[in-house]
Amino acid sequence: MKIASFNVNSLRARLDIVQSWLDEHRPDVLALQETKVQDPDFPAAPFEELGYHVAFKGQKSYNGVAVFSLEPFEQIESGLDTEPFDHSRLIQVKVKGLTIVNTYVPQGHEPDSDKFRYKLDWYERLRQYFANQFTPDDPVIWLGDLNVAPTDIDVHDPKRLLGHVCFCPEVTEAFTRIKDWGFEDLLRKHHPESDLYTFWDYRGRNALENNRGWRIDHILGTPPVAKTSVDCTIDKEPRRQERPSDHTPIMVELDW
């Protein structure tokens, strides 16, 4: 079973890239973030034509999450379980007995901003969400654009970038509190090496060519899921396409 995550930074702008990638790789499940499309305008038909069931929750111009699955959904829910629910930042589905929680965590803007404090609060509410809804013995995958690079090897220049809202002690601690609840980082289970990134800033000249990236997109699993993981990989090819997202897909393969 292959499960992938991809921040598309506007689904309608990257429609061809996503369709082409799905057609080539045929993951069982693809979770998208930052779709930037309100529900009545969601382009579900092209993906249904590829054989995928589609679940989504969005808003105009910002945020937005979606999940495509080759198997029918057994359950679909959106939003945190505390206000503000932020339905367009979290969607939970169940497929083949596996719960997948797809999240687009707030970026945080600046360290001294209200948006950064909201990000930290969001992480804490997400931790409580997992504790309220599941136990670590349940088969759960948490994935998405988590807007955290947890360790020095997850950014290309840790000394210069330390203090950024996605690479600072406060956010790393918030992420780690959720991870310690009962998740394993599935990329790091199989690939502990450095220079593995999922995001290259548009503003960085030749950022992709020089691999000046960040690993801020993640796939984590509870122990029942992690023990079935065969590999976890990052595919840079979509980032090389014309008018790409600044992120690229990450995919785990499970013996599920």
34-86: pLDDT as tens digits? 999 999 999 999 999 999 999 999 999 999 999 999 999 999 999 999 999 99
Which residue's entry shows tokens 């069931």? 53
Q: How far apart are CA 173 and CA 177, in angstroms?
A: 6
Region 190-196: what's the mean pLDDT?
Answer: 96
Region 13-34: what's the mean pLDDT?
Answer: 98
Query: In this structure, what token pair is assigned to residue 25?
Result: 């790789």
Q: What is the pLDDT of residue 205?
A: 83
Q: Indicate if 145 belongs to the active site.
A: yes
Contact 77, 87 (CB under 8 A): no
Q: What is the pLDDT of residue 29?
A: 98
Region 147-164: what's the mean pLDDT?
Answer: 98
**Three-state SS for 76?**
strand
Predicted confidence (pLDDT) at residue 152 exceeds the cutoff of 90? yes
Q: Assess whether the previous peptide bond of 84 is cis (omega < 30° from 0).
A: yes
Query: In this structure, what token pair is assigned to residue 69?
Result: 């699955």
Contact 64, 37 (CB under 8 A): yes
Give alpha helix (H) positions in 107-209.
114-133, 158-161, 169-182, 186-190
Catalytic residue among 28, 52, 86, 104: 104
Catalytic residue among 28, 145, 154, 185: 145
Query: pLDDT by residue (tens digit) across 199-251?
Result: 999 988 899 999 999 999 999 999 999 999 999 999 999 999 999 999 999 99
Region 105-122: what's the mean pLDDT?
Answer: 98
Query: In this structure, what token pair is assigned to residue 80?
Result: 């945190």
The overall pTM is greater than 0.75: yes
Q: What is the pLDDT of residue 61?
A: 93
Burial of 72 (0-12, 13-18, 19+ CB in 10 A): exposed
